[in-house]
Structure 1
Amino acid sequence: MNLHHLELFYYVARHGGIMGAVRNIPYGIQQPAVSSQIAQLELDLGQRLFVRRPFSLTPAGIQLYEFIRPFFLGMDPVAERVRGGGAVARLRFAGPTLVLRNHLPALFNRLRRKFPKLRLLLRDAVQTQVEHGLLQQEIDVGITLLEESIAPGIKSAPLLDLPVVLLVGKQHEEKTFAALLKRDLLDQTLIAFPSGELLHRRFREHLASRDLEWPVGIELNSLDLIEEYVAQGFGVGLSVKVPGESRRAGVREIPIPEIPPLRVGILWRTPLGEVAEALIDIAKERARSLTATS
């Protein structure tokens, strides 16, 4: 077997298909090249390794992936130790844009005092992507909204409770959620997360309890983008109120007190490394500070 072919198959299996592999392989390679080399690997083995559509590993593919996965997962840590002549602190983190932009820099500045050689891999991710990254061992720690139940193997700690709000622009005079609902919802564009995300689900459930329906007109995966589109006059945004955050000019919050606040937490998998453990402690401390000043 060709080691490069095995590496390509590892990325295909890990990212759910050839296109996912092409997007995540850390060097330039095109889809036809991956397809042809995977085909050669299957020919060498005399086995089909996965079903293309919908993607799923065959029994032979599962057996091969379970064998090669620990080797390729361990490549980066080994390379870091070799380059540095010893252990190099490394942290892979995922969270929403707002956290990455407004809160992570301060946390990482504190981490670097303790770990001067700290290397970071940061990903902009929504709730479902954070959990997936942890389960696939692609990240070490993530911050996101907490579900009532979390996937087995993932640990969590609460950080903040965030009230659910609607964001409106200058064209809206309504002061309350009840007043807004008196308007024809179909005439207003709702800007929100994808339907599978917790914030969207809770909002949809509340509307259903009122026998109302408000379809999403613009779907975005970032609170920051939702606010920007509201500021640009594209519609009404579904969001949360974050302590210490100010809104863009012309954007106003309308609280929805009938929906319980959503809990933001920090997630990780065990065993927990020293850097990840330090980040969790710092994040908890910052959350307490934000709560005290709000």
Structure 2
Amino acid sequence: MDLRRLASFLAVAEEGHFGKAATRLFRSPASVTAHVQQLERELGVRLFDRSPVRLTPAGERFVGHARSLLAAMDAAVADVAEAAAESTLRIGVMSNGSAELTPAVVQAFHRARPEIRVEFVALDFTEHVSALVRHKVDVAFVRPAPDDERVAVDVLTTERRIVVVPASWELADAPSVRLADVLDLPFIALPDHTPRQFSDYLYFAEARGGLSPHRSTSHAVTPHEVLTTAAAGRGAGSALESFQRYYPWPGTVCVPVLDAPPEHSVLAARADDRNPAVRTFRSLAASLARELGPRLRLTAT
């Protein structure tokens, strides 16, 4: 049975007028009339009296069936759409994610659930939590660990901190530095809507005792922007130690900060997400972090 005919029939029944039904459905009156006539021939009964337009006894009985059929089709379409959504896992990655663990987890997930399609989404610094809570991604490799009741966190790496500085600065010649050497640097600025937790991480806020950092006049929301800005001598950034393995950049130097507390990279997911694919991905990530983390230099020493 043609669903367009059912929709036309219901619209006429509810509007009591062929022209109004056509307007509601964005169809021509002729097409709505033709749909009703075709449905009447298919059923072998007259559904409407025409002058005035009103349902026949058969039409009145058929209204409930038509509504049920269309509702069933809507439910089927919604169910298929949900199944399609569940067959894709959207993975957010901020910066270099959890270093070598990121591809290792993705490969393990593909072996475990080959029927699930994976999509990667690059996250900028402002999407520390929002990408998850706005359903842009299903899981996210981020740092530091979000402190948000809407987000569940699995710690994957615990790494030493580094600063990223222009190669032209005197600090770039040091094999390592201490917090006292970096707190007064002009750090590359972040947009005002950057989560406070991420900006505190970037600027070593805990070590500042509540004092605001010096900010350069340049802004950045991605590692690429940090590196190009630093290479131009316009400010410093900070990161985890694994960052330097993924972003060797001419004109910049990564210097370890010896007395900065180690920081985590994590896998984050929505706390209320019951998607089995998400649970599988989290379980694999946690297992591989325990197994591979020490070997991959992803545990601070």
- Kept after mapping to 1: 8 A contact 2:232/2:251: no
After the TM superposition, which residues 49-198 of structure 1 pair with which residues of structure 2 at under 5 Å, given as runs? 78-79=80-81, 81=83, 89-99=87-97, 104-126=102-124, 129-147=127-145, 149-151=147-149, 153-174=150-171, 175=174, 176-177=177-178, 180=181, 189-194=186-191, 196-198=195-197
Aligned mates of 2:189, 2:289 — CA distance in 1: 25
- Which SS does the other structure have where 1:252 is aligned? strand
The aligned amino acid for 1:165 is I
TM-score scaled by length of structure 2: 0.56
Aligned to 2:278: 276
**Shift in Å at residue 92 of structure 1?**
1.9
Aligned mates of 2:91, 2:79 — CA distance in 1: 15
Unaligned 5+ runs, structure 2: 1-73
- Kept after mapping to 2: 8 A contact 1:169/1:231: yes
- Which SS does the other structure have where 1:292 is aligned? coil
Unaligned 5+ runs, structure 1: 1-71
Aligned to 1:68: none
Aligned mates of 1:193, 1:207 — CA distance in 2: 19
TM-align CA RMSD = 3.8
Identity %: 16
- Kept after mapping to 1: 8 A contact 2:216/2:235: no
- Kept after mapping to 1: 8 A contact 2:190/2:220: yes
May I ask how many residue pairs the two structures share in their alignment?
A: 213
**Shift in Å at residue 105 of structure 1?**
4.3
**Shift in Å at residue 207 of structure 1?**
6.2
Aligned to 1:201: 200
Aligned to 2:296: 293
**Larger-gyration structure (1/2):** 2
1:21-49 CA-to-partner distances (Å, cap 9, x unmatched) read xxxxxxxxxxxxxxxxxxxxxxxxxxxxx
Aligned mates of 2:153, 2:180 — CA distance in 1: 37
Aligned to 1:32: none
- Kept after mapping to 1: 8 A contact 2:162/2:255: yes
1:136-179 CA-to-partner distances (Å, cap 9, x unmatched) read 3443212212447322x422111112333211232123222468
- Kept after mapping to 2: 8 A contact 1:190/1:236: yes
Change (3 A) 1:250 1:267: same
TM-score scaled by length of structure 1: 0.57
Which has the larger displacement, 215-224 or 94-103? 94-103
**Shift in Å at residue 76 of structure 1?**
7.7
- Which SS does the other structure have where 2:129 is aligned? helix
Aligned mates of 1:237, 1:127 — CA distance in 2: 12
Aligned to 2:24: none
